[in-house]
Structure 1
Amino acid sequence: MQAGAAAEPHIIVLNRSQPADRMRFTLCHELGHIVMHNFPTPNMEDEADAFASCFLLPTEDIRPAFVGRRVDLRLLASLKPEWKVSMASLVFAAKRTGAINATQAQYIWKQFNIHKIKLREPPELDFEAEEPRTVSDLVSLHINDMGYTLSDLSTMLKMNEVEVAKTYNIDLPGDGKARRAHLRIIQ
Structure 2
Amino acid sequence: MTIVVLVGNPRAGSRTRKLAEAVGSAIQDRLDSRDHEVGVLDLAEIVRVHFGSDPACDTSGPTPAHDADEGRDPFTTVREARLLIVATPAYKGTFTGLLKVFLDRFGHQQLAGVTAVPVAVAGSATHADATATALRDVLRELGAEVVAPLSVLEADLGDGPRIAERWADDHTATLVRSLTAPHGEPA
Q: Which of the five TM-score ranges fits, normalised by the shorter chain?
A: under 0.3
More helix by share: 1
Structure with larger RCO (C-alpha < 8 A, sep 6+): 2
Please identify which structure carries the higher strand content. 2
